[in-house]
Amino acid sequence: MNGGTFIKRYDDPERCVAAAAHHTWLTSLNADVRLPRLLASDAQHLIFERLPGHTPAAADLPRVAAALGRLHAAAHERELHAARLHQPHTTTIELVIPDFADPRRAALHRAAAVAGVDVAAVDAVLDRPGLPAAFYKDPNVRNYLVSGEGVAVVDFDDLTLAPFGYDLAGLLVTASMTYGRLDEQTLACCIGAYRVAVAPQQCRPADLRQFAELHHLLTLRYLGHNGYRHPWPTVRPWPSPFPPR
């Protein structure tokens, strides 16, 4: 942090350019969700305005879920209604958003082997091209700021296509691994707020549970770091939908 700005440094200039393009596209959605202004950039730095706020607590999660839903609904209505999950999609600003399965398949297979999860079950969740497209933008609970009644979205490094509900599942997994098991009322409020925001493109409970397991596998290596204190199997609010290997 430096005065009224937040400076993010990138070792890879291509990632810096990509993050700036992601921010531009998300801003163009006009989704009634606050994003920090990008004030300046060079080959290895993005300089954003510093927004007030704090990392969401468990009680803040329904508002975060609603903001996430507004972003997904706006993206689908404006651009992604024509996207297919199994194909990269080029937006109106010439941003190429990668497909859903290819960027994460190898990492999921490796994590499934470690966790003793059936790889075929993982692939069955990844390979569902007929679902309507929203997007993934690292839904880690730390990538939101809450200030009063407002929610801001930060961190623009990663962007891919994803089904509706995939990022909501990631929010719930990362929050649970950070704060512990979420109570039923908080879960219901999060799911309800998201579904209201994205209607009629809703996420079935069975899909949400499967998406949560993908996020668990991708987050396994961070357990014990970055605030992840609780293993997902100990705080999972429902039975695992994946059969053991």
Report the percent of the chain where pLDDT is more than 70: 99
203 within 8 A of 195, measured Cβ to Cβ: yes
pLDDT in tens, 19-42: 999 999 999 999 999 999 999 999
2 pLDDT exceeds 70? Answer: no
Quote the pLDDT of residue 3: 54
- The arrangement of secondary structure in 53-235, i.e. its CATH architecture, is Alpha-Beta Complex (3.90)
All residues at 6 or more sequence positions from 21 whose CB lies less than 8 Å from its CB, including other chains: 93, 95
67 pLDDT exceeds 80? Answer: yes
The tokens describing 244, both together, are 């053991």
Cα–Cα distances (Å) from 84 to 63, 96, 131, 160, in that order, read 28, 13, 8, 11
Which among 241, 221, 214 has a CA at the least distance from the CA of 109? 214
pLDDT in tens, 139-161: 999 999 999 889 999 999 999 99
The tokens describing 133, both together, are 């497209």
Question: Long-range pairs for 209-212 at CB < 8 Å and ≥24 separation?
Answer: 209/169, 209/238, 209/241, 210/125, 210/241, 210/242, 211/125, 211/163, 211/165, 211/166, 211/168, 211/169, 211/170, 212/169, 212/170, 212/172, 212/173, 212/236
pLDDT class for 105, splitting at 50, 70, 90?
Answer: very high
Q: Where are the domains of the chain?
A: 53-235
1 pLDDT exceeds 60? Answer: no
* pTM given for the model: 0.96
Quote the pLDDT of residue 55: 96
245 pLDDT exceeds 80? Answer: no
pLDDT class for 176, splitting at 50, 70, 90?
Answer: very high
Q: Tell which wins on pLDDT, 243 or 45.
A: 45
